[in-house]
Structure 1
Amino acid sequence: MPYRRCSRASRRSHPRQGAVSVKHRTPLRKRLTVGLAAAALLGAGLSVPALTAGADEPRAAASCGATDAQIYTPPGSAPASPGTVIACRETKLPEVPGNIPMKAWKVQYSSSDNQGKPVAVSGTVAVPEKTWTGGGPRPVIAFNPGTLGLGPQCAFSKQLAGAYQDMYEGDNIAAALKAGYAVAATDGAGYLNGQTHPYVSGLDAGHALLDIARAAPGVPGSGLGKDAQVGLWGYSEGGQASLWAAQLAGKYAPELKVAGVASGGVPGDLKVVAKGLNGGPFAGFAADAVIGLAASHPAMPFDELMNDQGKEAIKKAKSLCLAGTIAQFAFNKIDNFTKDKLTLDQLYALKGTDGKTWGQVVDEQKLGVGIGPAGSGATHRIAFPTFQYRGLLEEVIPIETEDATRQAYCKAGIPVKWKTYAGEHLTTDNMASGDAVAFFGSRFQGKQPENNC
């Protein structure tokens, strides 16, 4: 859900209008520290046609001739078949370190929202130029970034391509590419013009991640096969998204050959997370969560509950990326933004026009509910092992919810490789990167999964 580290690539600038020079760019870690301290002191072109291929066989677009603007402009209507390539354009990824020879594309593809309605989503597909020498077609890592902020400029695909804000996961993308795997990295829904990212909405996130794996073979020139093995990977917000994708894969995308999922820093129970964030240094992520769930669940009361400060806060949050979100909302409580000073428990009791309460909506995002192995008859049948991890010095996501998610998977009989690292939330993602890539390697080779439940 919240922040993490800055990759090596993200600590350098790239020439563009308005960019600061390399020697003057302040690293993300330092800017987050400065922002938190300040908050504490203050106390507050060519048209690419939509395709209609089936979800189990996304058809390649004729060419990747879309303009950059077209990638981020929503189509009049999204194709009904999830995983359809709507538009694509070749790009460079200067924020991926290591000078890895690759081909890369920005893509717009079709997915489904939490109600099953077609939506368009943006993302990145990257394929190493080095010939794949492993067995079968080149595997694909479907990657979901951690929290970047709600502003449209924060989209992962924009930042990877050089429009740097405060992106921090170039190292993870590089690690997967160096291993020879293709990467299909979703921005997540809601980063197209005029939209709001449905932050921490499980179905929206899981669908978007699975659908970019479906879409990747449809990118002209990718050379990827629709029968490639797929790994799902993410940390923090991305950890929640990747586990939701794992839970949904069997029913939503049964044709994908998902071999395993690596998920770290997982905010498994949003009520536990919200209680820990509200009024604390990372309260901005709670603000983003409320905005994201309101955007993805329009039947719920939201705008009418806000006072003037709340309305301004919503506007501000929708314009900010990671560091700005932390600094802007540190130590604020949700009740400061509502007309009636509503507490979290009071908000949870409110009903929407569909009869659901806010509490029910939040509970629906909880991971590890209704899960079981293949053939179990569970609502969410997971036919592959998981790698779950967290930091021993975790200070953002309450460790009880991370541990509870792992325990729920173990109790359900799903293989779990569990590992903790001697880091806090900021550094653990980087510490686990090598182990995550190694986990996928063993999975793609069909080795016996490690299970230390």
Structure 2
Amino acid sequence: MPREVTSNKVTSNKMTSNTFSRTPATAICLGAMVLSLLAAPAQAGAASDFYAVAPSEIAGPPGTLLRAEPVAPPGGAAAAYRILYRSRGAAGQPVVVSGVVAAPPAGAGPHPVVTWGHGTTGIAPVCAPSRFPQRDFARIAGLGSLLADGDVVVATDYQGLGAGREHPYLVGASEAHAMIDAVRAARALPGLRAGRRFASWGFSEGGQAALFTGAVARSYAPELRLEGVAAVSAPTELRRLLNGDIGSLAGQVVASFAAVTWSRTYRLPIGEVVRPQAMPTLEHIASLCSSDLPERVTLGLAAAAYAGEGGLLVPGATQRAEWRRLIAANSVPARQGAPVYLAQGDADDLVAPAATRDFARRLCHDGVALDYQEVPFADHGGAEIASAGGATGWLAARLSGARPVSDCGQVDTARR
């Protein structure tokens, strides 16, 4: 069996006087002044005006920082910003994406960057985590540890949340591009001294995004250097996810978000996979967010309308040829360009532990250095909490240059 997660954090050896010798705090202060000027047009109106994008702003190099405004920094951060930057959608089309950045205490730099992928918040633009920066920062597992280690932390909203019309849910390439271009945008912020070395880290949908980042970073952003990928409760095999969860309320929500956005993103008739009588419920679910408990209760009540009717999807929906192709394309490839930390709760009723174990074996077969943690008695969200210390410690080791240790010998003997 893979070893169990403990609460002990791997000791970071990055905080040395040679690596992070202090510099005058004026660098961060000067950066904040410049960013205040950059952000002035956005701050003149309502907060939502920050996300308004003119058509002329969209085209341009991915990772270009378009707009930034200072926000109240979380504990342990020297400064924080809401940002708007250029990226690429799943088909390579130019898009604009939003997010937030937290800067560590001033140091010599260059600072490594950790790009964070959040779990499901919805697919409507109003569901963007960066609309509420303090809540957004609070949801980043291990943020305080990452900042104390001297890392710049950037959290993307993904394409379509905040800026845009709709988030392409569980579309791996789009998520990965948003996470990588967030690193590029952070490097353009004055005074932060964000370096080109980075790691990806995410939970649930964000775990899928972090793993897709590992698969495409080398080709998409050759100027950056990916040091590690950490993912917890990550849906890696979407056919099993959708088939296994159609009967649950959470699964109905996941299936609804995927059906709506995939039909629009890939221009497929939604009637092939959704029951006609369920369409009003589906559209209602698509308009809701899941950022907090009241919102999740509302979503559950909406999904419950079809819980006893065989669900929202038609029988065999995931076996339709075009949908089957998309499920395969957005299931995580085992090829990774960096070591991987993978955590999974063994009581997760949304992402099947067996699917994660199978993915772990595929990583090992492909020669990836893997740290695999299975958390006893942890459900989907519980695994995130229980593994946060282990994950951030593992990230600290990767970003300090420590050699990864592989668990593949233990994974091969884990129960199937």
TM-score, structure 2 as length reference: 0.80
Residue 383 of structure 1: how far off its partner (Å): 3.4
Name which of 126, 129, 142 aligns with 2:102. 126
Contact 2:371 2:407 in 1 (8 A): yes
- Aligned: 1:368 with 2:333: yes
Distance 1:397 1:337 in 2: 19
Contact 1:242 1:263 in 2 (8 A): yes
Number of aligned pairs?
A: 360
1:438 is matched with 393
Distance 1:327 1:171 in 2: 28
Distance 1:394 1:337, change over 3 A: closer
Q: Secondary structure at the match of 1:82?
A: coil
Give the AA of the match of 2:299. T
CA distances 1:74-108 after superposition (whole Å, capped 9, x unpaired): 33141331100111111115xx4xx3242111111
2:300 is matched with 326
Distance 2:394 2:158 in 1: 24
Contact 1:142 1:230 in 2 (8 A): yes
Distance 1:231 1:194 in 2: 26
Contact 1:105 1:125 in 2 (8 A): yes
Distance 1:334 1:107 in 2: 43
Distance 1:395 1:62 in 2: 48
Contact 2:96 2:164 in 1 (8 A): no
- Aligned: 1:150 with 2:123: yes
- Aligned: 1:393 with 2:369: no
- Aligned: 1:200 with 2:135: no
1:349 is matched with 320
Name which of 106, 110, 113 aligns with 2:86. 110
Aligned CA RMSD, in angstroms, stands at 2.5
Contact 2:347 2:380 in 1 (8 A): yes
Give the AA of the match of 1:69. S
- Which range is displaced more, 430-439 or 151-160? 151-160
Residue 194 of structure 1: how far off its partner (Å): 5.6
Give the AA of the match of 2:279. G
2:323 is matched with 358
Distance 1:268 1:102, change over 3 A: same
Residue 366 of structure 1: how far off its partner (Å): 1.4
Distance 1:264 1:82, change over 3 A: same
Counterparts of residues 37-76 of structure 1 (less than 5 Å) = 63-65=38-40, 66-67=42-43, 68-76=47-55
Distance 1:62 1:220, change over 3 A: farther
Give the AA of the match of 1:100. G
CA distances 1:126-175 after superposition (whole Å, capped 9, x unpaired): 102x2336xx511110001111122433211123345x8xx961443333
- Structure with bigger RCO (C-alpha 8 Å, 6+ apart): 2
Distance 1:101 1:245 in 2: 25
1:88 is matched with 68
Q: Which segments of 5 or more consecutive residues in structure 2 lack a partner in the other structure?
A: 1-34, 409-416
Counterparts of residues 270-281 of structure 1 (less than 5 Å) = 270-281=238-249
- Aligned: 1:189 with 2:144: no
Residue 333 of structure 1: how far off its partner (Å): 7.6
Distance 2:264 2:148 in 1: 37
Contact 1:259 1:385 in 2 (8 A): yes
- Higher percent of residues as helix: 2
CA distances 1:15-72 after superposition (whole Å, capped 9, x unpaired): xxxxxxxxxxxxxxxxxxxxxxxxxxxxxxxxxxxxxxxxxxxxx9973333333431
Distance 1:82 1:334 in 2: 45
Give the AA of the match of 1:295. R
Give the AA of the match of 1:105. Y
Contact 1:285 1:326 in 2 (8 A): no
Q: Secondary structure at the match of 1:414?
A: coil
Give the AA of the match of 1:249. A
Distance 1:327 1:221, change over 3 A: farther
Distance 1:232 1:325, change over 3 A: same
Distance 1:234 1:346, change over 3 A: closer
Q: Secondary structure at the match of 2:285?
A: helix
Name which of 228, 232, 236 aligns with 2:200. 232
Q: Between the two proteins, what is the percent identity of the paired residues?
A: 25
Q: Secondary structure at the match of 1:294?
A: helix
Give the AA of the match of 1:424. D
Contact 1:63 1:220 in 2 (8 A): no
TM-score, structure 1 as length reference: 0.74
Distance 2:139 2:262 in 1: 24
Contact 2:247 2:311 in 1 (8 A): no
- Which range is displaced more, 142-151 or 245-254? 142-151
- Which range is displaced more, 211-220 or 312-321? 312-321
Q: Which segments of 5 or more consecutive residues in structure 1 lack a partner in the other structure?
A: 1-59, 351-356, 372-381
